[in-house]
């Protein structure tokens, strides 16, 4: 690998047998992704797909807290605040990696144990074998930092059953194993206590299709299946304002949604109004696009245009930098965000600046 020792330490690679292993190794930062890490993973996957000695790939996170909490949003904050373009380069390579994972010709096994958010979803949920545990917390929480689901998140959420994906996109809610399986963000449940044995079998050369059934189990029931009826009634509305109105109606005394629907409405109203409207449009457009790579092209436009939005800097400041949890969104209300404001996020970037996610 043509990378320095510091990057080598943050992404550990091993291919001593038929199972190649990627270990994200920034446990103190919840294995948050940096640009050099993305490049190192891409380089490894590209080499392994042409290596006949490698028959499958395993990705995992170091430490006990999770696979990956997302991208390095402090760096994105600094880039957006300075008006520079480093983030655009990071996203370009990250989204191309997401596309590579989705079309990978060999079994790509993702251990989605613990926290798996944002960029961590992009590293795992596009893979062919996606494993969650009772400790898994999977989320696309971007609306809370003035951003929009990316890394193929609009594609993933857009194809979830009914309106579950819209609910998760707008609220940014984290889900456990059963709900991740229901929303097609994962394929298999393995109790956390069995991960070491499963990994040992894979490293010993067992094909994942043979080893996995010996370790799978049944997760505890989730929450979304029981909330599906009112979620599917509320979220097809044409606007975020109407979605909130329907949720509050469900939350009234006697409404089927009860406190959960009211809580969803209150959660949404705390997010960036601009991000909410752009997110709703992005998920619905991604459904129409159908293909992941076309959705990534759209997401790249939205992400790059978001660098000029005041809410991205403000949201990261409030949640991560100052941690006062009191963002001052601009515009401050849903009513103030116009259709023209939303359309600007989907505007073409210009010749030579668009994403080309293919090889």
Among all residues, which ones are annotated catalytic? 71, 119, 142, 150
97 is written with which tokens? 């990696």
Between CA 44 and CA 269 the distance in angstroms is: 42
Neighbour order of strands in the sheet with 115-117: 66-68, 115-117, 137-139
The CA-atom distances, in angstroms, between 163 and each of 186, 231, 252, 261, 262 are 17, 6, 21, 14, 17
| 22, 108 contact by CB (below 8 A) | no
Beta strands at 115-117 and 137-139: parallel, antiparallel or unpaired: parallel
| Placement of tokens 């941690």 in the chain | 323
Between CA 334 and CA 343 the distance in angstroms is: 15
| 11, 49 contact by CB (below 8 A) | no
Query: Radius of gyration of the chain from Cα atoms?
Result: 20
């Amino acid at each position: 690998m043509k990378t320095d020792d510091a990057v080598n330490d943050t992404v550990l690679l091993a291919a001593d047998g038929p199972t190649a292993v990627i270990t994200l190794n920034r446990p103190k930062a919840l294995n948050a992704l940096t640009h050099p890490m993305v490049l190192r993973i891409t380089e490894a996957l590209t080499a392994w797909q042409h290596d006949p000695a490698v028959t499958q790939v395993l990705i995992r996170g170091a430490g006990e807290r999770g696979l990956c909490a997302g991208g390095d949003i402090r760096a994105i904050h600094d880039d957006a605040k300075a008006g520079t373009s480093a983030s655009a380069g990071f996203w370009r390579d990250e989204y191309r990696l997401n596309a590579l994972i989705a079309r990978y010709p060999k079994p790509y096994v993702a251990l989605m144990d613990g926290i798996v958010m944002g960029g961590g979803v992009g590293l795992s949920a596009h893979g062919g074998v996606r494993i969650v545990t009772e400790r898994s917390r999977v989320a696309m929480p971007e609306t809370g930092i003035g951003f929009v689901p990316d890394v193929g998140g609009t594609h993933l959420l857009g194809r979830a059953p009914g309106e579950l994906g819209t609910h998760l996109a707008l609220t940014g809610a984290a889900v456990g194993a059963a709900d991740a399986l229901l929303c097609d963000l994962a394929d298999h449940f393995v109790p956390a206590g069995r991960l070491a044995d499963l990994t040992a079998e894979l490293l010993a050369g067992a094909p994942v299709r043979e080893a996995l059934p010996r370790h799978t189990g049944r997760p505890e029931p989730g929450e979304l299946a029981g909330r599906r009826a009112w979620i599917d009634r509320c979220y097809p509305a044409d606007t975020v304002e109407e979605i909130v109105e329907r949720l509050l109606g469900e939350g009234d005394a006697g409404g089927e949604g009860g406190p959960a629907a009211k809580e969803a409405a209150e959660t949404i109203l705390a997010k960036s109004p601009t991000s909410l409207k752009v997110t709703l449009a992005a998920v619905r457009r991604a459904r129409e696009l159908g293909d992941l790579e076309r959705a990534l092209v759209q997401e790249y436009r939205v992400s790059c245009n978001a660098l000029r939005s005041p809410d991205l800097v403000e949201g990261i400041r409030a949640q991560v930098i100052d941690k006062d949890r009191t963002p001052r969104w601009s515009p401050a209300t849903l009513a103030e965000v116009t259709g023209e404001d939303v359309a600007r996020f989907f505007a073409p970037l210009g010749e030579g600046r668009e994403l080309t996610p293919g090889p």
